[in-house]
Chain A
Amino acid sequence: MSAAADLGMPGDSLLRRISDVLLARRGFYLLLLLVPPLLWLGVVYLGSLFALLAESLFSIDDFSGVVVREPTLATFRQLLQPANLDVIIRTVTIAATVTILAVIVAFPIAYYAARYARGRTKAAFYLLIMMPLWSSYLVKVYAWKLLLAKEGAIGWTFDAVGLRPLLDAVLAIPVIGGPSLSTSYIGMVLVFLYLWIPFMVLPVQAALERVPGNLIEASGDLGASPRQTFRRVILPLALPGIVAGAIFTFSLTLGDYIVPEIVGPSSLILGQVVYIQQGTAGNVPLAAAFSVVPIVIMGLLLAIAKRMGAFDAL
């Protein structure tokens, strides 16, 4: 202590001594940093997830409605019943459609933001992309319901420009059509697309941002037309971002139960079934089994993406 004072260094205080200990023992320092999040992630988050998964291995007594706490695959077998399989297929199809459309809509926006926008334009871009996230999800969905309603702004616009027959023709398409946009799958997909687009734009933009401009020049220099450069250089390098965005849009759609309550036809999708089974129906094991479905699907998709080399550029 006195030596430190002699050298004109700052004296010892409790805080200083603590930081000395932390600096000297890096392992301890890391432990201190990681314990709280690990507790949260390991115990609260993963713990409850596994409790849910365990629940799916139980079954429900059809007469008493009491959960039978014996491991069985009977509940999972129930998923294969036509009505339940129908829900799964319908949900996956909607989620896949939303994801594909999100890539198509988000990519040009992200490309512009990453390669051309600078300074103020870039700030404006972030603001515009993030702004929808600032308002309540419910308000946005109800706003869309009004827009999509038969007498809503979209229908009115079609009327005003004399394109009503076109809208009617689209709504007449079987399955995806319906009496109005707000009660059709088209409307549901539009709302999902609107809600999740920031989750696609941001990762794709981040991936494109990391593609050095000289790679694009090098590709052109070696004889590749802009189209070939896009296919062989830009797209493969943006793929990790697209996959990340797809994980968001796909899993968010798979799990959502509010949008299909408000917009779209009356047939259920996965999130609604989980909601009904654990709530009104009181069949928690079946609800849990349904919840396993998105996890398995996401796992499969990631495995396929990895095999296709989506993460090679990481």
Chain B
Amino acid sequence: MKAGPAREAPGPAAVSFRGVSRHFGDVRAVDGVDLDIAPGEFFAMLGPSGSGKTTCLRLIAGFEQPTAGTIAIFGQAVDGVPAYRRPVNTVFQDYALFPHMNVLDNVCYGLRIRGVPRRQRELQGREALALVKLAGMEARRPGQLSGGQRQRVALARALVVQPRVLLLDEPLGALDLKLREEMQGELKGLHRRLGLAFVFVTHDQGEALSMADRVAVFNEGRIVQVAAPEEIYERPRTRFVADFVGGSNVIAADVVKSWTGTAREASIRPEKIVLADPATLPGDRITVPATVTEVLYHGAMRRVEMRADFGPLVASIPAAGAAIGEGIAVRASFAREALHLMESA
């Protein structure tokens, strides 16, 4: 699958993996991963828990060393280089703020380690806090902050030392929905302004699709697909991607063969399925008779669960149309080109 970097940049990749594995005893947390992250790219690593995405992040940060393969950061191999000598910084899942320091000292920690004089580092620290909209909080202790504020301190603390790659480990996981949406926008804005590579680990497909330039979907220690969000969503490479990213309908190979003559599994997005009379619709369409089993109201859309003769089928239709009762027979149809053939997983 072609999946070039979103922004072509001259010079080496910000992060590159070549055949990288990390095994813990018999457990293959990361298994033969190849990866290139472009400088300035917003790159999401998406997958269920235990899929290896966090281990990949820790391999970049230097908290883990690969059992096989090579990792390079801006063309420099970092085999055996410890975390404290890598030009990358991490925003931890639960923030990992130092409880015995106030907000400003937390933010200035990296500068202090680098021997920046107090006056200068506090100036930079205050700037970083202003960047994440926390000016005036300098003297607070981490324990006195809300989850969202801690998140911002962690962000400022990582950014103030000017990393070349910023690693974010499920940074929004502990926030409530409203705050999460707000922070998504702010992270996107920060990324645009700072222009450095962000590597973002998440198990939330919505988050990955809405924020990233490119998404790598992980499963069982391997990357299943790397592509732009639209590509991932519209053309999932395998059944796993189709399932994990936004609950596509997966159609068995023999059914697909009866429709197209090709015996391969295919996916069809719920919003591509229409329940109106197919005769009134243009184009080459595939029509399936089905019985409605459940209708769920989702605000703008209605999720219609149906049973066709080959199995369950889900459609997502505008809620504005006529109400559909459970148990009625419908004719579900979709454009032939909306059916996306997948590789066998």
Contact = CB atoms under 8 A, between A and B. Distances in A.
B99 A313 contact: yes
B341 interface: no
B84 interface: yes
A61 interface: no
A217 interface: yes
Contacts, number: 66
Contact of A237 (B62, B85, B90, B100): B100
Given A217-B63, A237-B100, A222 B92 contact: no
A224 B84 contact: yes
Contacts of A20: none
B89 interface: yes
A212 B82 contact: no
A217 B62 CA distance: 9
A222 B100 contact: no
19 contacts: A212-B96, A214-B92, A217-B63, A218-B92, A218-B98, A220-B62, A220-B84, A221-B88, A222-B89, A223-B110, A223-B113, A223-B114, A223-B161, A224-B109, A233-B98, A236-B100, A237-B99, A309-B100, A312-B100
A218 B96 contact: yes
A153 B89 CA distance: 55
B94 A222 contact: no
A17 interface: no
Contact of B96 (A215, A223, A237): A215
B157 interface: yes
A306 interface: no
Given A236-B100, A312-B100, A220 B94 contact: no
A222 B99 contact: no
Contacts of A226: 84
A221 B84 contact: yes
A219 interface: yes
B63 A222 contact: no
Contacts of B62: 220-221
Given A214-B92, A228-B113, A232-B109, A220 B100 contact: no
Interface string A177-217: 00000000000000000000000000000000000101101
Contacts of B63: 217, 220-221
A225 to B, nearest CB: 6
Contacts of B110: 222-223
Contacts of B100: 236-237, 309, 312-313
Given A217-B61, A220-B82, A228-B113, 10 more contacts: A212-B94, A217-B90, A220-B63, A221-B88, A221-B90, A222-B113, A222-B161, A225-B84, A232-B113, A236-B100
Contacts of B90: 217-218, 221
Contacts of A218: 90, 92, 96-98
Interface in B110-162: 110, 112-114, 157-158, 161
B83 interface: yes
> What 3 A-B pairs have minimum CB-CB distances, sorted nearest first?
A222-B110, A218-B96, A214-B96
Contacts of B88: 221
Nearest to B89: A221
A236 B93 CA distance: 23
A310 B62 CA distance: 32
A225 B100 CA distance: 19
A309 B100 CA distance: 9
A224 B96 contact: no
Given A228-B113, A236-B100, A222 B157 contact: yes
A223 B111 CA distance: 9
Nearest to B112: A232
A217 B92 CA distance: 9
Interface string B49-77: 00000000000011100000000000000
A224 B89 CA distance: 12
A110 B98 CA distance: 21
Contacts of A212: 94, 96
B24 to A, nearest CB: 14
Nearest to A309: B100
A124 to B, nearest CB: 23
A187 B63 CA distance: 45
Interface in B168-204: none
Contacts of B85: 223
Nearest to A211: B99
Contacts of B83: 217, 220-221
